[in-house]
Amino acid sequence: GDSVTQMEGPVTLSEEAFLTINCTYTATGYPSLFWYVQYPGEGLQLLLKATKADDKGSNKGFEATYRKETTSFHLEKGSVQVSDSAVYFCALNERDTNAGKSTFGDGTTLTVKP
Amino acid sequence: DTAVSQTPKYLVTQMGNDKSIKCEQNLGHDTMYWYKQDSKKFLKIMFSYNNKELIINETVPNRFSPKSPDKAHLNLHINSLELGDSAVYFCASSPLGTGTTEAFFGQGTRLTVV
């Protein structure tokens, strides 16, 4: 079955540091890949996505590139802010699925200190 | 307008009670879900409905019974609540089809069983 493996947390960084959160996946088909962010006390919201190989998703200074050859979708940001403190989830959807079920990683908690 | 709304946001109840959580989406989506997030932030799908039809029922005790009166609503009823049911429950929705579109999450219902 499908699976998503994320870098274990928690991750603690100082403001303006470089962020990488690793994500690798296993899927039978050609999935779409997503990063969701969950701020404290809130639901998950989409951060960025990529629907085919070599696509780069970007939003709010975050980027991730769909790498089919390494089955990876690592999340990066050049300079984090305190407001980026949240839990980050990598997820995949199989293509052509009518069930619409997403497979989520276990989440990585990021804390950014001033 | 809130896209996916859940009520209540907080629910504290005693063991053995029966409780319901309501969810409504105004996005016109065909698919709705219930997820459970435990204290470690792990997110697990419980149920998925397509147009009021149950599609996914993961290994969930039969004390949990989803009800979908129409495609815009998916409620979760829990009988004989146990301490281990304490968690945050998220409702989500997405369009039916290719899997390239993200899920939209509600704000969550924090259930505490005492």
Return the bridge partners of A90, or none.
A35
Which phi and psi angles does B17 have, rounded to 5°? -75, 165
* Position A54, amino acid: D
Going by pLDDT thresholds of 50, 70 and 90, the confidence category of residue A91 is: very high
**Cα B97 to Cα A93: distance, rounded to the nearest angstrom:** 11
Run means of pLDDT, 10 residues per run, chain B, 114 residues: 91 98 95 92 89 82 93 96 97 82 92 97
Q: Which residue of B has its CA nearest to A106?
A: B42
**Cα B36 to Cα B30: distance, rounded to the nearest angstrom:** 20
Closest CA to A74 of A14, A21, A6: A21
* Structural contact between residues A30 and A49, judged by C-beta atoms closer than 8 angstroms: no
Query: In this complex, do B96 and A100 lie within 8 Å of one another by their Cβ atoms?
Result: yes
Instruction: Give the SS3 label for residue A83.
Output: helix
Is the bond leading into B8 cis (omega within 30 degrees of zero)?
yes
Query: In this complex, do B56 and A101 lie within 8 Å of one another by their Cβ atoms?
Result: yes
* Structural contact between residues B1 and B49, judged by C-beta atoms closer than 8 angstroms: no
In this prediction, residue A100 carries a pLDDT of 56
B42: which chain A residues are within 8 Å (Cβ-Cβ)? 106-107
Residues on chain B bordering chain A, Cβ-to-Cβ distance under 8 angstroms: 4, 31, 33, 40-43, 45, 48, 50, 55-56, 90, 92, 94-103, 105-108
DSSP letter assigned to residue B2:
-
Question: What's the first-to-final CA gap in chain A, in angstroms?
Answer: 41
The alpha-carbon gap from B107 to the nearest alpha carbon of chain A, in Å, equals: 4
pLDDT at A102 over 90: no
Say how far residue A2 (Cα) sits from the centre of its chain: 16
Task: Dihedral sign for Cα B10, B4, B101, B72, please.
Answer: positive
Which phi and psi angles does A76 have, rounded to 5°? -135, 150
Diameter over CA atoms, chain B:
42
**Cβ atoms within 10 Å, residue B60:** 15
* Structural contact between residues B59 and B114, judged by C-beta atoms closer than 8 angstroms: no
Residue from the list A51, A94, A99 with its beta carbon closest to the beta carbon of B48: A99
pLDDT tens digits, A22-74: 999 999 888 999 999 999 989 999 999 999 999 999 999 999 999 999 999 99
In this prediction, residue A98 carries a pLDDT of 53
